[in-house]
Amino acid sequence: MSEFNKIAIVGRPDHKGVADTCTRLLSFLSNCGVSVIMDATTAELAVARDCEIAEKETLSMDCDLLIVVGGDGSMLKMAKFVVPDDVPVIGINRGKLGFLTDVLPNELEAQLSAVLAGDYEVERRFLLDVAYLRNGQRHALGSALNDVVLHPGQAAQMIEFELFVDDRFVYSQESDGLIAATPTGSTAYALSAGGPIMHPDLNAIVLVPMYPHSLSSRPVVIDGESEIRLVVAKRTSHCPLVSCDGEVCHTARANEEIVIMKKQSPLRLIHPLNHTFYQACRSKLGWGSRLASSDD
């Protein structure tokens, strides 16, 4: 008997192919005798008539597994809701890249049959928590699976800040901002800004400057248990923004401190047994495949 007896489905609306995949997925799970729960939007996409409905933010409170149908962005949006309930997640890729949503739509029955039979791998991906300090008090802002970014919020506007790691001063900088990325996020925005690709198993955080006003300022990889503190300059022409996975969560003030730390509860990400990070890089980033042998 499968350990996943009640499965939640979340589909991204207005995304090519999601409705068809959700309908097909619902039919497959129903034929497997699995109870299904969806949010109202996904139920409408799947034309589900007798399905249990719940709010998207609370789906993981009442299921054994959550399936995300969409792209990596859809997975990012759900991660913060799922992590507190310690529910595993698997993604069916209807996006462009699919580093997090790696089940192909045309293989969903075969791949999910294996998962229901217990043939899968579990990967634990850590998130970042971010807060701001004001009058000695720490105020939580949110969590991010990919990255926390300090940025000006508008083009051609540099900001000034100081960087501390574990209360040790690193540098002051004038730039378009700073990206603090997890290994998961190292293949996202941080990669576009010139950061390194980090294997998901690493317990590390990469700090990537955004267009720094210094040729010597480069990405730095630090221990994942480190506390990162960004201090906004006392005199600033405008207030920089803080974003979690691309969503603005705070407008910082002059001399305000932003604190970023590893979240203790990880996201449990399920993969089919044939999944590897390097295969995903070859597929998504265009890395070269095996060289043909001289006998071919």
CATH assignment of the domain containing 279:
3.40.50.10330
Question: Catalytic: 62?
Answer: no
Confidence of residue 156 (pLDDT cuts 50, 70, 90): low
Round to whole Å and give the CA distance between 285 and 66.
27
Confidence of residue 146 (pLDDT cuts 50, 70, 90): very high
According to the model, what pLDDT value does residue 176 have? 92
Round to whole Å and give the CA distance between 46 and 24.
8
pLDDT at 233 over 90: yes
Share of the chain above pLDDT 70, in %: 97
Segment 91-109 shows an average pLDDT of: 87
Amino acid at 246: G
Distances (CA, A) of 179 to 2, 125, 198, 233: 41, 18, 14, 17
Residue-wise pLDDT for 179-226, tens only, equals 999 999 999 999 999 999 999 999 999 999 998 988 889 999 999 999
- Count of structural domains, the chain: 2
Confidence of residue 296 (pLDDT cuts 50, 70, 90): very low
Look at residues 46, 21, 36 and name the one whose alpha carbon lies nearest to residue 109: 21
Indicate whether 141 and 57 sit together in one domain: no
Residue-wise pLDDT for 14-58, tens only, equals 777 899 999 999 999 999 999 999 999 999 988 888 789 999 999
Residue-wise pLDDT for 49-98, tens only, equals 878 999 999 999 999 999 999 989 999 999 999 999 999 999 999 877 77
Mean pLDDT of the chain: 92
Does the residue 86 lie in any domain? yes
Q: Which residue in the list 72, 102, 129, 176 is annotated as catalytic?
A: 72
Does the residue 291 lie in any domain? no
According to the model, what pLDDT value does residue 63 have? 95
According to the model, what pLDDT value does residue 284 have? 84
Contacts of 24-30 spanning 24+ positions with Cβ under 8 A: 24/105, 24/108, 25/67, 25/69, 25/92, 25/108, 25/112, 26/51, 28/108, 28/109, 28/112, 29/112
According to the model, what pLDDT value does residue 182 have? 98
Indicate whether 113 and 10 sit together in one domain: yes
- Residues of the domain holding 236: 128-262
pTM of the model: 0.92
Round to whole Å and give the CA distance between 157 and 240.
10
According to the model, what pLDDT value does residue 218 have? 94
According to the model, what pLDDT value does residue 132 have? 96
According to the model, what pLDDT value does residue 1 have? 53
Segment 148-168 shows an average pLDDT of: 91
Indicate whether 155 and 71 sit together in one domain: no
Indicate whether 113 and 194 sit together in one domain: no
Indicate whether 176 and 85 sit together in one domain: no
Residue 249: burial class (beta carbons within 10 Å; 0-12, 13-18, 19+): middle
According to the model, what pLDDT value does residue 223 have? 98
Does the residue 270 lie in any domain? yes
Indicate whether 76 and 167 sit together in one domain: no
Share of the chain above pLDDT 90, in %: 75
CB neighbours of 56 closer than 8 A, spacing ≥ 6? 10, 39, 41, 78, 81
Residue 167 sits in a domain whose CATH number is: 2.60.200.30
